[in-house]
Amino acid sequence: MAAKVLAIVLAGGEGKRLMPLTTDRAKPAVPFGGMYRMVDFVLSNLANAGYLKIVVLTQYKSHSLDRHITKTWRMSTLLGNYVTPVPAQQRRGPWWFAGSADAIYQSFNLINDEQPDYVIVFGADHIYRMDPRQMVEDHIASGAAVTVAGIRQPLSMADQFGVIEVGEDGKRIRAFREKPTDAVGLPDAPDEIYASMGNYVFTTRALCEAVERDAEDKTSKHDMGGSIIPMLVERGEANVYDFRDNEVPGSTDRDRGYWRDVGTLDSFYDAHMDLINVHPVFNMYNFDWPIYTEQPPWPPAKFVHQWGERVGRAVGSMVSPGVVISGSLVENSIVSPKVRVHSWAHVEGSVLMEGVEIGRHAVIRRAILDKNVFVPEGVEIGVDLEKDRQRYTVSDNGIVVIGKGQKVVP
């Protein structure tokens, strides 16, 4: 008989480092890749693996996220399947979630209702493909209380991650440290470390006991990575799962093992640029392991005008349905649904979200324009960064970011 598995997706993050993209929405609800939301990636991984009892724990500015999940992620109730957003219910008292571990503690009723043998706890704001069945199978075979997904990274980058240090067997976790400057390399690769991916598989009893114990500790931060995992590591009950061993159907040599934490504006931008190479670093065209999302009745994209310089065209770009590129040039960009790019405009190396409109003769370079931004005729964005800094957000790497519906002044 197959093991009973419940999936919990932690989607309560504020995403402060992604401002202004998170001014009006939770981080997992931020659009990505033209047609998707960040949360679609973890939900697609779970659904493709056959885990169809999924709760999404939400908190900050959750309306956009709740609406997306409710409209998009509908399962067959005949078979008892569901994907449901669950806000902080204050079941344990008049307070919101104090951390990811507290979110699970306040949601014990969800676990009690399903009585699973194992609980998957995944984050909602990373871009990747993964077959979680293989991680669950590894966890069951190990007999550990928790298995933590780890991705190999250079030892020199250890101070940028939560680092998993393992024993000589390469499996049992002996230390779980946050951004150490003196990390130790892996037994089979001294120049590499395991960075935590924020994905866990728990034996149910071990999860409940650890979270209850943590809830009694008034000094705890009530965080999965900072509190629960170190507790189980100290007891010798935590294993690592090497993400390198995960085989996703349809993956290519180039995008196998791809995982990106898009927690900053620059990493968010870079992850978009990973999509548009001829042989993309992350391949959205893997039909054996699709990423699902809402599919409204948008018409196909349209490219119009062919007269001299006034030619509607897009090169090295991903163009979504409902887009009209009218006598203008779009290069190396991600263009979301219902975007309009008018004649003689030039968009280069940019991310245009739904409903953006670019006026005639406008120039957009290395920019992220959130939903419903209107750029007037002749305006230049990303050309003079000093000027842009006075009006908009500019990232460390010089990416100009304009928030949802923000007015662009000529």
The residue whose two tokens read 């951004």 is: 179
- Could you give the CA distance from residue 12 to residue 9 in angstroms, rounded to a whole number? 9
Length of the chain: 410
Write out the two tokens for 216.
């009694």
- Could you give the CA distance from residue 38 to residue 59 in angstroms, rounded to a whole number? 16
Closest CA to 302 of 326, 337, 335: 326
- Could you give the CA distance from residue 91 to residue 68 in angstroms, rounded to a whole number? 25
- Could you give the CA distance from residue 100 to residue 251 in angstroms, rounded to a whole number? 31
- Could you give the CA distance from residue 351 to residue 317 in angstroms, rounded to a whole number? 10
225 is in an annotated binding site: no
Name the DSSP class of 253: T
- Cα four-point dihedral sign 59, 61, 65, 67: positive
- Could you give the CA distance from residue 316 to residue 331 in angstroms, rounded to a whole number? 6
Give the 3-state secondary structure of residue 111: helix
Write out the two tokens for 146.
């928790």
Count of alpha carbons within 13 Å of 306, Cβ hemisphere only? 3
Is 184 exposed, middle or buried (CB count within 10 Å of its CB: 0-12, 13-18, 19+)? middle
- Could you give the CA distance from residue 288 to residue 294 in angstroms, rounded to a whole number? 18
179 is in an annotated binding site: yes
Write out the two tokens for 292.
């699902």
Closest CA to 213 of 87, 104, 136: 104
178 is in an annotated binding site: yes
196 is in an annotated binding site: yes
Rounded-to-5 percentages of helix, strand, coil across the chain: 25, 30, 45
Helices marked H in 274-339: none
Angle ∠(201,15,387) on CA atoms, nearest 5: 150
Does the bond joining 20 to the residue before it have cis omega, within 30 degrees of 0? yes
Closest CA to 15 of 226, 265, 351, 354: 265
Q: Which residues are part of a known binding site for alpha-D-glucose 1-phosphate?
A: 162, 178-179, 196
Q: Which residues are part of a known binding site?
A: 162, 178-179, 196
